[in-house]
Structure 1
Amino acid sequence: MTAIVVHGGAGAGQELSDGCRRAAEAAAQRLQAGDDGLVAAIAAVLVLEDDERFNAGTGAALGLDGQSIEMDAAVMDSRGTLGAVAILRSVKNPILVARDVARTPHCLMAGEGALRFARVMGHQPYDVISDQARREHADMLAQLSSEEPAMPGSDNQAFLRYWNYACSPSFSGRHGGDTVGAVVRDADGHFAVASSTGGSAPSLLGRVGDTALIGGGFYAGPDGAVAATGVGEYIMRNMLASKVYHWIAGGMDLHEALRRGIALIPPDVDTGLIAVSKTQSGWHANAATPIGQIQRPV
């Protein structure tokens, strides 16, 4: 039986499950049309990138300067496909650029080179800032000006000390690590994962999180596929997706592997995981984390 699991990001909440459901349905349509798991996973992420409620693509988070948007995305499957982009600007669908990178001799492209590559591949300029992103940016600045940490484990003043934007800071002193992703098991038993994010907020210019880093935010192999969501700095330090994948590949129950993976992250840091294996599919998040998700056997 094929399977699809889609998430809308740590902290997204069940009120966004309709968007995840539409994404899962888009993936299911691709599988039913005979496409492979990677095509289906990308189709799911495209739906979420085009829904401004999610922090990816059109809904990507604003940088601290209120102008910059830097996005990451990645694709991987169990047949050797791997492509990722980091610090990508001015495109509508980073997941499609990641797909195109997978066709080149490289696995990861970043910054200006990634943008030039996107233009060569026909991805047109796109610089829309959603109203929700503007509202959340204003809320984030207010939080940075307070005593409440805007990023778990970090002092708000650190963003002032290391400020590297062209403008001056506009705060005196939680929007964390939303990501969207999909994992798929297709009719031939192959696995695929696709993930996209508009970045973590707050963050310094040029920050890259776990979404574009193989083994951190995503992993797929012959035994399954895993995608993570949350604060990338914690996910990367634990190589979370790779660790969970190898537990599953070693015979651990998928749900137990997800629970053990979440337990590696401090409980007050929003974190979620989704996965499919040869016989199971599911998701898990820590107690502090609502996660917009939908699980669908097809």
Structure 2
Amino acid sequence: MTQTTNDARHTVAAVVTHGGAGGSRDQDDGCQLAARAGLDRLHGGGSALDGAVAACVALEDDGRYNAGSGAVLCLDGKSVELDASIMDSQGALGAVACIQRVKNPVLVAQAVSRSPHWLLAGAGAEAFARTVGFEHHLQISERQMAKHVKLMAALGAREPVTPGVANRAFHDYWNYDTAPAFSPCDTVGAVARDAQGNFAVACSTGGSAPSLLGRVGDTPIIGSGFYAGSAGAIAVTGIGEHIVRKLLAYTVHGWIEGGMGVGEAVERGVALFPQEIDVGIIAITHQATGMHSNREMPCAQTGAPA
């Protein structure tokens, strides 16, 4: 799927959202509501970062996407590890990796951007969240449990659940505190442009399923799953182990900075990967927005004229 919008007249506040490569377009409504929440924040005087974070929080709270309240369960059927990141074109940068027991990891990532560091992980990230006032949160839904049961059944079959990785590998390298018991890999993200021409990106994910405990994908890695600079903001979704090898978000930003149109840039970025690897990209520039994925990808934009 590809969508590009251009507005050559003047800078218009805008927000673009996605609900993860490989998701269903039936979930576009959640992306639309999130984009509207971000745009409302911009129209209320918020910065590009405020808009992107507001949109990402709405996606985390939706419950249908693999982030926040809808994040996939780890292989032990009880742990949830979350990654999130924020960045803007004015210097803000923050991320968390493998954080547990928080409701909105993107808000913790934003708080990290105000700390002495840019990335906190694991137990330290959770302790930081408590220090700055985020409450303990862990609520596992029936939908999450049903997806976990389905995943366990798939791991017991011969067909690889993860492209290029034998199902047996998750048994051989099992690192949970329970015995092996023998879904999806996606992310949510938002990019925003305010009326002053500043850019921001916010991303959040419940990680990949299946994965070993402590696995980190592309979402909290600057230049891989997210990037914001002078030419625009980029958010990426897909299989992180492949995305990080291409520094995909930074690469796409570089093409745009060099003069390539946003539509061509996002399509070229997706084309770097073989068809069996899920990948999707959303981007916003001074006068255009673009989205492209090699899978169905729930997405929306608001603010920019169609």
The interval holding the TM-score normalised by the smaller chain is over 0.9
Matched with 2:123 is: 112
Check conservation: 1:41, 1:192, Cα contact below 8 A.
Answer: yes
Pick from 272, 285, 289 the counterpart of residue 277 of structure 1. 285
> 1:171-198: per-residue Cα shift (whole Å, max 9, x none)?
1xxx332100000111000000000001
Matched with 2:3 is: none
Matched with 1:237 is: 245
Deviation of 1:146 (Å): 0.6
Pick from 36, 46, 50 the counterpart of residue 61 of structure 2. 50
2:5 pairs with 1:5: no
Check conservation: 1:73, 1:94, Cα contact below 8 A.
Answer: yes
Check conservation: 1:150, 1:176, Cα contact below 8 A.
Answer: no
Whole-angstrom CA distance in 2 between matches of 1:55 and 1:176: 8
* Aligned-partner SS, 2:72: coil
* Aligned-partner SS, 2:298: strand
Counting matched residue pairs gives: 293
Matched with 1:169 is: 180
* Aligned-partner SS, 1:10: coil
Matched with 1:74 is: 85
2:217 pairs with 1:209: yes
> 1:139-168: per-residue Cα shift (whole Å, max 9, x none)?
111111111111111111110111101111
Matched with 1:197 is: 205
Matched with 1:87 is: 98
Check conservation: 2:72, 2:184, Cα contact below 8 A.
Answer: no
Deviation of 1:297 (Å): 2.6
Check conservation: 2:15, 2:35, Cα contact below 8 A.
Answer: yes
Matched with 1:155 is: 166
* Aligned-partner SS, 2:39: helix
2:262 pairs with 1:251: no
2:305 pairs with 1:294: no
Deviation of 1:67 (Å): 0.7
* Aligned-partner SS, 1:229: strand
Whole-angstrom CA distance in 2 between matches of 1:236 and 1:138: 29
Deviation of 1:222 (Å): 1.0
5+ long unaligned stretches in structure 2: 1-11
Check conservation: 1:183, 1:226, Cα contact below 8 A.
Answer: yes
Q: Which runs of 4+ in 1 moved over 2 A?
A: none
Whole-angstrom CA distance in 2 between matches of 1:270 and 1:176: 10
Whole-angstrom CA distance in 1 between matches of 2:59 and 2:290: 19
TM-score by length of 2: 0.94
Whole-angstrom CA distance in 2 between matches of 1:228 and 1:78: 17
Whole-angstrom CA distance in 1 between matches of 2:163 and 2:15: 31
* Aligned-partner SS, 2:110: helix
Deviation of 1:257 (Å): 0.7
Whole-angstrom CA distance in 1 between matches of 2:194 and 2:73: 35
Query: What fraction of aligned residue pairs are identical, expressed as a percent?
Result: 53
Matched with 1:99 is: 110
> 1:16-64: per-residue Cα shift (whole Å, max 9, x none)?
0010010001011011111111000000011111111111111111000
Deviation of 1:8 (Å): 0.4
Check conservation: 1:262, 1:285, Cα contact below 8 A.
Answer: yes
Whole-angstrom CA distance in 1 between matches of 2:86 and 2:287: 22
2:271 pairs with 1:260: no
2:232 pairs with 1:224: yes
Whole-angstrom CA distance in 2 between matches of 1:141 and 1:264: 31
> 1:103-129: per-residue Cα shift (whole Å, max 9, x none)?
011000001110000000100000101
Q: Say what the alpha-carbon RMSD is for the aligned residues.
A: 0.8
For 1:200, the aligned partner's letter is: S
Whole-angstrom CA distance in 1 between matches of 2:184 and 2:225: 15
1:141-152, aligned counterparts within 5 Å? 141-152=152-163
* Aligned-partner SS, 1:193: strand
Deviation of 1:238 (Å): 0.8
